[in-house]
Amino acid sequence: MQTIVAALKNKEVLKKILFTLFAFLIYKTATYIHIPLVNPDIISSFFEQADSGILGIANAFTGNALKNYSIIALGIGPYITASIVVQLLQMDIVPILKEWQEEGETGKRKINQLTRYLAIGLAFVQALAMTYGFRLTGDSIFDIGDFQVTFVTYTYLAIVMTAGTAFLLWLSDQITMYGIGNGTSMIIVAGIVSGMPGMISSLVGEYVTAEAANVESYLIFALVLFIYVAVILFVTIMQSSYRKVPIQYSNRPAGQRFKGKNESNIPLKINSAGVIPVIFAVTILSIPSTILNFIPELSGSTFGIWMNELFTYQRPLGYVVYVGLIFVFAFFYAFVQINPEKVADNLQKQQAYIPGVRPGIDTENYISKTLFRITIIGATYLVFVASLPIFLAMIFDLPAYVQIGGTSLLIVVGVAIETTKQIKTQAQEQTYSGFIR
């Protein structure tokens, strides 16, 4: 509350917040601008039949823009994919990217430019494949009368959707420069949050105001809301949790090496991988089922049945694979984000050390073991939150539109925490500046 009051009193911060909200309004308006030549009702009915997997997640991230098949149907997804790919290629896979990473601000601009070019290319390919994939469902998605659908038609639609993604990249840049928070993250959050009022409204209509509503339905509604709030609090605590690894500097006077609360340390987040492991796991599992949705002939075959059992996390076998993938990606991405060898090398260069641990290889091993232990906790936490929508839907027989927990909540809470910190910092900076004057 203090942060909110300080932000409202600060004109500069308030202007940034209002600019961000205005950008959100533009974004939400664009979700209702349909792509030309396409009948959005056909696309919407397809989502009602198969609103899960990678398409369901993509639709949630775009604020129903994909379901409406609007000009920004792809959302910011291609840029996220491109960012992950470029980040992985910097791990000594492509030497020039490694060199750019070490060039400071100049290299950062080059990497950012490369990421955007790659994002535009991915957006075009994804739009082309998606439009053609919807055509394979059997229903004609086009509304062009007697005109014949050719490759030029698909190319035209792909260019329109790619332009929509380019527009969102520009809008996210404007938020980063003139608004609050990271523009890319804020665009994703805007899409997710915009669907929450509809979810609550539908939930009220299902359990409270319906003609068949009774005491049992009222209790289910109250319990679902309670669990929803409890999960938000739990995720907020876990996203802010970290393990402090104390360090000391050999070049400091002895009296300054022990400062109690002010002692230097390396904060290792419990969930250093963020939401990436869940997104990767869902994406890998959903690709086969998405292909099967686009090719109905395979769905009823033996091959299709086995693919659904193995790659659907609502199934027992698929859920085991799902959990395994989350753990694998959680450990992989945690050690990518925090390289124990690099951390140990930096400590040695700064003449710093962990009390009771020798510099060099022993420090590297100590950080690796510590990171391994906390990543077990972080991966278990990710599995718990990602599994909540699955088990709660089974227990309470909730509709598909009610998502308690899951990837969306992890993203929203994580971005909210970081944005709150930024607002607090900017409000304090303005306050101190005014005090000095």
Contact between residue 36 and residue 160 where contact means Cβ atoms under 8 Å apart: yes
Give residue 19's pLDDT band: very low, low, confident or very high (50, 70, 90). very high
Q: Which of helix, strand or coil describes residue 248?
A: strand
- CA angle, 56 then 59 then 62, to 5°: 155
pLDDT digits over 292-318, tens only? 666 666 666 777 777 777 777 778 888
- The ranges assigned to domains in the chain are 11-194
Amino acid, res. 17: I
- The DSSP secondary-structure symbol of 268 reads E
Of 369, 376, 367, 364, the C-alpha closest to 331 is 376
Contact between residue 194 and residue 366 where contact means Cβ atoms under 8 Å apart: no
Q: Give the predicted TM-score (pTM) of the model.
A: 0.77
Please, what is the angle between helix 151-178 and helix 77-89, to 10°?
A: 80
The CATH homologous superfamily for domain 11-194 is SecY subunit domain (1.10.3370.10)
Please determine, for residue 402, whether its predicted confidence score (pLDDT) is greater than 70: no
What is the rounded distance in angstroms from the CA atom of residue 420 to the CA atom of residue 437? 26
Of 265, 277, 256, the C-alpha closest to 323 is 277
Q: Residue 336: what pLDDT?
A: 80
244 phi and psi angles, rounded to 5 deg: -85, 125
Give residue 327's pLDDT band: very low, low, confident or very high (50, 70, 90). very high
Q: Which of helix, strand or coil describes residue 25?
A: helix
Separation in Å, CA 104 to CA 98, 101, 110, 338: 11, 7, 10, 19
Q: Residue 437: what pLDDT?
A: 46
